């Protein structure tokens, strides 16, 4: 199954900052997606040229999506969001949608939960399976909703937590093996953390690792130090926690036993780059299934918190045992999407870039529309992709060269 990377800007909506809840639970679902915006100007010679053509407006009735996750040419998921009234989250998922015709029409598949709930993150495994975390700030627990039929029916399980949690990461490798990363408030670059795992699709949960201020650093123990920002597993055993640190360099932890024991992982930096505190955010690695079903190839993005520097892309071909630093686009980009180990797209400053050789080189494309206001791109092949922004929802079928209104799949 194809896996793709959806990269987000510094203003990423961390819909995974979920707080706890005890609800009357009969339904379940989860995701972390985000948005970013950039600018681009059109050139011209002689007389002043007309500005770039803006994308056409979305069809009437299209929900104001903040994140999309297309799984193939026809089927995908999307979310809308609202500002958290408590101010403790960047946003909270408001509604969840699903399409089966390439984005032409959408069906609201949001499960029912209390009006005051904080909702998110959401994780979409494939066209049918999804999870959603729902919480309330007055309860030390979260409800994990799950569906395996595209949102037609939902079930929910309450997971008790140490205290009022923020769910920073949620991931699954199949319909059975699921993990959740809960943190309890960062201070001075450190935060208490719990990792929960399920082997039955989210029906039962157990805590497999934790970090507390009273822990003594030792081999295999998840460190208290570090801001934990995401969680990814490539298979039942191999996983990563991404984030940042008060210390110079990157913060990244890896496990090879399903999340019980963790060890720091070091990645290469450009020779001319000296990181300072908080200047690097490692992001969740993305793995792609080969012909035999194994996930050996992957991409691990690193966001550089600088106005001038583009992100770093590390590539693996041995299931994450070794990572090589590859090339980046020439300019800073805010959103990107990889469809396999060789093909990816990145957008920033209104400029769209493409790689066809696993990030070894990037080529700038010159689309027919101004992509200045695009907040997310999402590709499912080297030709077919979508882009969302404030008031528009567009699609390309020729690898990003030309864009137009979302019509029937493949058109």
Express each pLDDT in 190-235 by its tens digit.
999 999 999 999 999 999 999 999 998 889 999 999 999 999 999 9
At residue 220, the pLDDT reads 93
**How many beta carbons lie within 10 A of that of residue 390, not counting itself?**
12
Cα–Cα dist 75/231, whole Å: 25
At residue 87, the pLDDT reads 43
- Exposure string over 52-64, b if 16+ CB within 10 A, otherwise e: beebeebeeebbe
At residue 201, the pLDDT reads 98
Query: Which domains are seen in the chain, by residue range?
Result: 5-41+53-405 (2.130.10.10)
Residue ranges, the chain, pLDDT below 70? 1-51, 83-91, 277-278, 307, 408-411
At residue 50, the pLDDT reads 53
Cα–Cα dist 145/122, whole Å: 9
At residue 49, the pLDDT reads 45
At residue 212, the pLDDT reads 95
Backbone torsion region of residue 350, taken as left when φ is above 0, otherwise alpha when ψ lies between -120 and 50, otherwise beta: left
The structure tokens listed for 246 are 């008060």
At residue 83, the pLDDT reads 56
pTM given for the model: 0.85
Q: Is 71 within 8 Å of 126 (Cβ atoms)?
A: yes
At residue 247, the pLDDT reads 80
Cα–Cα dist 96/273, whole Å: 41
Q: Is 180 within 8 Å of 172 (Cβ atoms)?
A: no
At residue 90, the pLDDT reads 45
Which residues, 6 or more positions from 289, have their beta carbon under 8 angstroms from its beta carbon?
1, 2, 3, 295
CA distances from 130 to 176, 225, 227 (A): 12, 31, 26
- Exposure string over 87-125, b if 16+ CB within 10 A, otherwise e: eebbbbbbbbbbbeebbbebeebbbebeeebbbbbbbbb
At residue 396, the pLDDT reads 97
């Amino acid at each position: 199954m194809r896996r793709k990377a959806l990269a987000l800007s510094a203003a990423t909506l961390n819909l995974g900052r979920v707080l706890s809840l005890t609800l009357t639970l009969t339904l379940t679902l989860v995701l972390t997606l985000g948005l970013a915006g950039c600018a681009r100007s059109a050139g011209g010679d002689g007389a002043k040229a007309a500005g770039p053509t803006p994308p056409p407006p979305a069809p009437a009735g299209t929900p104001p999506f903040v994140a999309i996750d297309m799984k193939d040419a026809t089927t995908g998921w999307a979310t809308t969001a609202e500002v958290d009234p408590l101010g403790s989250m960047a946003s909270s998922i408001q509604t969840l949608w699903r399409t089966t015709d390439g984005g032409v029409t959408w069906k609201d598949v949001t499960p029912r939960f209390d009006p005051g709930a904080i909702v998110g993150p959401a994780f979409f495994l494939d066209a049918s399976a999804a999870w959603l975390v729902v919480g309330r700030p007055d309860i030390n627990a979260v409800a994990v909703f799950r569906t395996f039929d595209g949102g037609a029916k939902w079930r929910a399980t309450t997971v008790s937590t140490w205290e009022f949690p923020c769910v920073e990461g949620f991931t699954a490798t199949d319909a059975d093996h699921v993990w959740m990363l809960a943190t309890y408030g960062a201070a001075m670059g450190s935060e208490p953390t719990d990792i929960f795992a399920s082997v039955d699709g989210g029906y039962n949960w157990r805590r497999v690792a934790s970090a507390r201020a009273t822990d003594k650093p030792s081999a295999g123990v998840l460190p208290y130090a570090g801001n934990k920002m995401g969680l990814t597993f490539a298979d039942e055993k191999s996983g990563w926690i991404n984030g940042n640190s008060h210390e110079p360099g990157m913060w990244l932890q890896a496990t090879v036993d399903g999340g019980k024991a963790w060890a720091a992982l070091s990645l290469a930096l450009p020779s001319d780059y000296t990181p300072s505190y908080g200047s690097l955010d490692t992001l969740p690695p993305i793995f792609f299934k080969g012909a035999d079903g194994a996930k050996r190839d992957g991409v691990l993005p690193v966001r550089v918190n600088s106005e001038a520097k583009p992100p770093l892309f590390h590539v693996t071909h041995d299931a994450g045992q070794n990572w090589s630093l590859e090339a980046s686009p020439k300019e800073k980009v805010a959103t990107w999407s990889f469809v396999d180990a060789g093909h990816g797209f990145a957008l920033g400053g209104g400029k769209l870039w493409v790689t066809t050789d696993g990030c070894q080189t990037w080529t700038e494309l010159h689309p027919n529309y101004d992509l200045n206001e695009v907040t997310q791109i999402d590709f499912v092949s080297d030709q077919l992709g979508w882009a969302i922004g404030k008031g528009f929802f567009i699609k390309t079928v020729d690898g990003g060269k030309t864009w137009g209104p979302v019509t029937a799949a493949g058109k």
